[in-house]
Amino acid sequence: GAGVSQSPSNKVTEKGKDVELRCDPISGHTALYWYRQSLGQGLEFLIYFQGNSAPDKSGLPSDRFSAERTGGSVSTLTIQRTQQEDSAVYLCASRGAWGANVLTFGAGSRLTVL
């Protein structure tokens, strides 16, 4: 697509429920990133994909968080047994093979855990 597409744009869930957030990167972009942006905080790196593999998962906050990417395209970030502290905006970005690490971001998925 023309840009990075994320869905849902807003998600309200109850504590303890599982949620899935989807990211559709720019066509042909090989690298895909997930960041978390909490109120008043900067961007917290979560995970990075090169193709379908995730060489760096060091940013995932706990084992309740997981992500996958299939076909070198769409990625899904899954949060199991959500907690209130998971409430944040989850941003996805993609990067092509060139461009000095310039990332193109999606509009984000706002997650609210009640």
Partner 1 sequence: AQSVTQLGSHVSVSEGALVLLRCNYSSSVPPYLFWYVQYPNQGLQLLLKYTSAATLVKGINGFEAEFKKSETSFHLTKPSAHMSDAAEYFCAVSPRGATGANNLFFGTGTRLTVIP
List the one residue from 77, 93, 111, 113 that touches partner 1 (CB under 8 A). Answer: 93
The verdict on 101 binding partner 1 (CB under 8 A) reads: yes
Q: In whole angstroms, how far apart are CA 52 and each of 24, 57, 100? A: 13, 13, 21
Residue 19 vs 47, nearer CB to partner 1:
47
- CA separation for the pair 46, 36 (Å, rounded): 7
Where in the chain does DSSP place strands (E)?
Answer: 5-7, 10-13, 19-24, 31-37, 43-50, 53-56, 65-69, 75-79, 88-95, 104-105, 109-113
The verdict on 55 binding partner 1 (CB under 8 A) reads: yes
The verdict on 34 binding partner 1 (CB under 8 A) reads: no
Q: Which stretch binds partner 1 (CB under 8 A): 16-24, 53-61, 70-78, 80-88?
A: 53-61
List the one residue from 11, 60, 108, 113 that touches partner 1 (CB under 8 A). Answer: 108
- CA separation for the pair 41, 112 (Å, rounded): 16
Per CB under 8 A, residues contacting partner 1 are 4, 6, 33, 35, 40-43, 45, 48, 50, 54-56, 58-59, 91, 93, 100-108
